[in-house]
Amino acid sequence: MHSLSIEVLLGRVIGLVIGFTLHEWAHAWTAYRLGDNTPYFQRRLTLDPRAHLEPIGILLALVAGFGWAKPVPVNPRAFYPNEKRGIVLVALAGPLMNLIIAFAVGILIRLMTAASIVEARIGLLSSGKLVDIGAGSSGFWTFIYNTLGTIVIFNLVLFLFNLIPLSPLDGYKIAVGTLPPEYSNWLIRYERETMFALMMLILIGAMSMGRLDLLWGILGPPLRFLYGLFTSFYPSFT
């Protein structure tokens, strides 16, 4: 297992606090705007990270790259007569917020490229660090790039991972609310099984030390594409 560099650890901490906090806040704000007062009474309509972060989820996210925050309680009946539409919009708001964060930080990296601070070329993700892409004799800008790049990667992972249609992820709620009744009913019937499937995918990847990481096989290609699209860098994740 590779040890984390300082800039990657810093990027994960910043990306985690911003990504998890705004992800859950987006759920709460969307539900509230659609007529559900539950997030308000649960004090989740705040940008204070303490209202959204879970200590164990934070630790796992920092160490393993996968973690969780406190889920926002939602009352679907408050969306009547459009309960399914409301659930889909609330579920979609979280991942979209992570995509917006990745895009915004990606703009900073593009500005660095435009100012010739860093060069836009292929780099390798080695030991958790994007290498061979920075310019500047002091290495300061390489440090900044690696920190910002990690924030982008972390939020893109949150975006893509949460769209997987397995319980309890946002993608499951989106699928249930948008698929034809025969398929959504099937997902609801086997909700516990889909949760078990997700746990197994994560465990297999962790126990195999990445050699049989099916989730990474699914998320890797779109992650690389979106990272390159947002930042102009196209890293090879190794």
What is the tens place of the pLDDT at every residue in 44-72?
999 999 999 999 988 888 776 678 899 99
* Residue 108 DSSP symbol: H
For residue 116, pLDDT beyond 50: yes
Residue of 128 and 205 predicted with greater confidence: 205
Does 1 fall in a domain? no
Q: What is the mean pLDDT of residues 184-203?
A: 92
Does 79 fall in a domain? yes
Q: What is the mean pLDDT of residues 168-185?
A: 95
b/e 132-153 (16+ beta carbons within 10 angstroms → b): ebbeeeeeebbbbbbbbbbbbb
Q: Is the pTM of this model over 0.85?
A: yes
Does 209 fall in a domain? yes
Q: How many domains does the chain have?
A: 1
For residue 8, pLDDT beyond 90: no
Domain assignment of residue 93, given as a range: 6-237
pLDDT given for residue 118 in this prediction: 72
pLDDT given for residue 205 in this prediction: 72
- C-beta atoms surrounding 59 within 10 Å: 11
Q: How confident is the model at residue 218 (pLDDT cuts 50, 70, 90)?
A: confident
Does 199 fall in a domain? yes
Does 45 fall in a domain? yes
Q: Which residues contact 64 (CB under 8 A, 6 or more apart)?
A: 206
* Residues designated as active site: 24
pLDDT given for residue 131 in this prediction: 45
- List phi, psi (to 5°) of 131: -120, 170
Does 167 fall in a domain? yes
Q: What is the dihedral of CA 175, 203, 11, 73, to 10 degrees?
A: 40
Q: What distance in Å separates the CA atoms of residue 21 and residue 25, rounded to the nearest whole number?
A: 6
Does 23 fall in a domain? yes
